[in-house]
Amino acid sequence: MNKKQLINLCAFIVTITLVSCANYVLPTASELKKYDMLAENMDITALERGRPVMVQNCVECHRLIYPEELPTAAWDEVLPSMIRKADLQAQDMKDIQAYVHTVIDSVKNGYKEKLAAEQK
């Protein structure tokens, strides 16, 4: 592959990535419920509390990181220090953790595909 082909391939990959992510926002608890993405014993109020706390606080220090960008174990490792830096409470961490885990599982179980199919 020559340099021009490589540049074109990279440009194509970036374009596809941007287009495929353009309509995706962090799902609300009700959206996850609508697509049957919640575990049977999930406390939906924890998700309803966790999403806005995450959105409002994380962007004060860095860009919003979508839950599926990191493995669950990485979130579990980094969240305690982020909660301390943001001066949040233990309940906030539990709520954010529940939300992050649920979104990761939902993406693995086809949430984005179901959302995209409905938007067509």
In a domain, 15, yes or no: no
**pLDDT bucket at 16, cuts 50 / 70 / 90:** very low
Cα–Cα distance, 66 to 103 (Å, whole number): 9
In a domain, 19, yes or no: no
In a domain, 17, yes or no: no
When the pLDDT of each residue in the chain is averaged and rounded to a whole number, the result is 86
Which residue range(s) make up the domain with 91?
25-119
Q: CB atoms < 10 A from the CB of 58, how many? A: 15
Share of the chain above pLDDT 70, in %: 82
Q: What is the pTM of this model?
A: 0.78
- As for how many domains the chain has, the answer is 1
Cα–Cα distance, 35 to 66 (Å, whole number): 19
In a domain, 20, yes or no: no
pLDDT of 119 above 90? no
